A and B are shown apart, each in its own frame.
Chain A
């Protein structure tokens, strides 16, 4: 039973991270392979504030989110918008975006190694429980889960109800028609991208309370987030949450019952199964 709870707790945090990627890929139409590095950066800031000034990661989030928002907005405007402008086809844009975000991800890893981590694994430990609650589960995991649920819920409501949220969903469904009804697609895409980055960085701050990270683990989280997004369906908020919980469960089961070294292999197998049998996502309709 505790495997299920631990899995769900982990999945809740994954949902937040994947939500960030889904905003970027589903709405802004950029497959951001540097997504995991944003997570690690968020985690690092949380660690830094905690070890430096005993500031709770739950407070740090309020700094991390706006900074990440701004940073991602700049990345979109400086690097990605010119690609969208010059691309002759969707395929061309896709290739360029993949290469660029890979480049940015390596640059980010390189910079983090250079400035913070000459000693590599030094800032990896932040697993001190923050509050002491309930049962046998780490309080940090429960807190991170609750915070993730709160943010996911708020985001869902915002996307479903608010005008800005509807605009974002509109450009994900039909960018051409959105343009016709007077939506500034370019600005909205930048907004979605920046928001996605902010959500992921927040997820990073939360996840750092109970997972060990280092400068180069970003790519693993990118992979996991991608698996979740594709499983849940690109642009589908509900699907993302369900898929994240499933992945959290699967990883916990594999880690407990087989070998902790196989969690990524398990996520990958799940991805293969999805690709073979439901490439349109769990709740997606076949397009053909």
Chain B
């Protein structure tokens, strides 16, 4: 299987701190990859490097064989990598539909006019918010605001979607709905990288997992294999709970 997205020796330094240290992994087409590890292990930083929130210090990231690690965030998004944020970021002065349309108009496929509206409506329906496009952001519940953000990422019809703790902070019922939603994306053939803490979600959603601790990859494999790996268990439960 040829990789859709691959990281080779990717590192990120903040001053003296090495947040991500020589990460290598691939994501194949239609694959759901879980990026897991204890807090502060560099998962979100890795996601930020892929999406171009800040530049890599070393190494390269490529999408379908083309290097993207030198590109600005907007260019990476146009090439087909869309993301959600750890703390939900919606556009407060716009309606729900306009928020989603933002993804359709400027994302990977860059649609305009009626076409963008059709996509935005379709994505709202996909995330379970059909007919609520006219609502303002202030009227949304927490999970619904997460859904809108997901719909915005989807609306550009990206090749890869990065979800940064999208399931965090949901109550048990919402969590079940959230997992179902992501599974439906997976069934549609979306390629997803998932930074996640919820073990149930990782087990039921991911094809493969990359485990990080202190900025490095310590394990890679199927969820079942990885979660029984002693190194992983030590990383989670042992001395490293920073």
Q: List the interface of chain A (C-beta within 8 A of B).
A: 285, 288
B15 touches A288 (CB 8 A): no
Q: Kindly report which residue of chain A lies nearest to residue B15, judged by CB atoms.
A: A285
CB-defined A-B contacts under 8 Å, sample of 3: A285-B15, A288-B54, A288-B55
Chain B residues with CB under 8 Å of A288's CB are 54-55
B 41-81 to A, binary, CB cutoff 8 A, 1 in contact else 0: 00000000000001100000000000000000000000000
Nearest CB of chain B from residue A223's CB, rounded to whole Å = 32
Q: List the interface of chain B (C-beta within 8 A of A).
A: 15, 54-55
Complex: A285 Cα to B13 Cα, angstroms: 13
Complex: A288 Cα to B53 Cα, angstroms: 10
Nearest CB of chain B from residue A127's CB, rounded to whole Å = 48
Mostly helix, strand, loop or mixed at chain B's interface? Answer: loop
Chain B residues with CB under 8 Å of A285's CB are 15
Chain A residues with CB under 8 Å of B15's CB are 285
Nearest CB of chain A from residue B143's CB, rounded to whole Å = 23
Q: Kindly report which residue of chain B lies nearest to residue A288, judged by CB atoms.
A: B54
Chain A residues with CB under 8 Å of B54's CB are 288
Complex: A285 Cα to B14 Cα, angstroms: 11
Complex: A288 Cα to B15 Cα, angstroms: 10
Complex: A285 Cα to B55 Cα, angstroms: 15
Q: Kindly report which residue of chain B lies nearest to residue A285, judged by CB atoms.
A: B15
Complex: A143 Cα to B54 Cα, angstroms: 49
Nearest CB of chain B from residue A267's CB, rounded to whole Å = 32
Complex: A34 Cα to B223 Cα, angstroms: 61
Chain A residues with CB under 8 Å of B55's CB are 288
Closest 3 CB pairs of A and B: A288-B54, A288-B55, A285-B15
Complex: A288 Cα to B55 Cα, angstroms: 7
Complex: A13 Cα to B55 Cα, angstroms: 41
Nearest CB of chain B from residue A226's CB, rounded to whole Å = 27
Complex: A288 Cα to B70 Cα, angstroms: 13
Q: Kindly report which residue of chain A lies nearest to residue B54, judged by CB atoms.
A: A288
Complex: A272 Cα to B227 Cα, angstroms: 55
Nearest CB of chain B from residue A272's CB, rounded to whole Å = 23
Complex: A243 Cα to B229 Cα, angstroms: 57
Nearest CB of chain B from residue A144's CB, rounded to whole Å = 39
Complex: A162 Cα to B55 Cα, angstroms: 39
Nearest CB of chain B from residue A141's CB, rounded to whole Å = 41
Complex: A228 Cα to B102 Cα, angstroms: 40
Complex: A285 Cα to B54 Cα, angstroms: 15
Complex: A109 Cα to B184 Cα, angstroms: 65
Nearest CB of chain B from residue A236's CB, rounded to whole Å = 16
Q: Kindly report which residue of chain A lies nearest to residue B53, judged by CB atoms.
A: A288
Q: Kindly report which residue of chain B lies nearest to residue A88, judged by CB atoms.
A: B92
Q: Kindly report which residue of chain A lies nearest to residue B55, judged by CB atoms.
A: A288
Complex: A262 Cα to B155 Cα, angstroms: 54
Nearest CB of chain B from residue A276's CB, rounded to whole Å = 18
Complex: A24 Cα to B172 Cα, angstroms: 48
Nearest CB of chain B from residue A98's CB, rounded to whole Å = 21
Nearest CB of chain A from residue B52's CB, rounded to whole Å = 11
Nearest CB of chain A from residue B55's CB, rounded to whole Å = 6
Nearest CB of chain B from residue A121's CB, rounded to whole Å = 49
Nearest CB of chain B from residue A287's CB, rounded to whole Å = 9
Nearest CB of chain B from residue A230's CB, rounded to whole Å = 22
